[in-house]
Amino acid sequence: MSGVRGARVIRRRFAARLLFRAPGSWQTRGVTDAFSHHEWLTVPDLVELLDLSQSRVRRLIEDRHLLAVRRDNILSVPAVFLRDNEPLHELRGTLFVLADSGFSDDEAMDWLLTEDESLGVSPIEALRSGRKTEVRRVAQALG
């Protein structure tokens, strides 16, 4: 797939995944149970791990260095968003691309943690393996 047609097909496939969820599963937990295999860190966990103040950790989230969603009403960040006790540097620009494409934080989290056909792995795993340009190209095509 290439060009505009390919982008539309990818966007439709992603949108279809969001539409066919169990009722209430998205709104009540922030993300689906498919992500329960990831380790999640709360703000207090991040304060301890990053050796920062709570306000500084919240600033990292506000400034899109990290993406957090509510899981069981607790603001949480997947541990895979960190490398060497720092936010993954490649994540921030990707979050801006997704936001520019109209993704909410919950939708962006879903996309980052779910395996993508065109990447062969989840976008976050592709980012961690140095495929930043490819991930952002796919994210732009979703818009």
Sort 75 into a burial class: Cβ within 10 Å, 0-12 / 13-18 / 19+: middle
- Rounded to the nearest integer, the mean pLDDT of the chain is 83
Biggest alpha carbon–alpha carbon distance for the chain: 46
Residue 137 has pLDDT above 90, yes or no: yes
Q: pLDDT digit string (tens) for 66-82?
A: 999 999 999 999 999 99
State the pLDDT at residue 88. Answer: 97
State the pLDDT at residue 29. Answer: 41
State the pLDDT at residue 19. Answer: 41
Residue 11 has pLDDT above 90, yes or no: no
State the pLDDT at residue 33. Answer: 52
Domain ranges of the chain: 3-141
State the pLDDT at residue 34. Answer: 53
Residue 53 has pLDDT above 80, yes or no: yes
Q: What is the mean pLDDT of residues 103-108?
A: 96
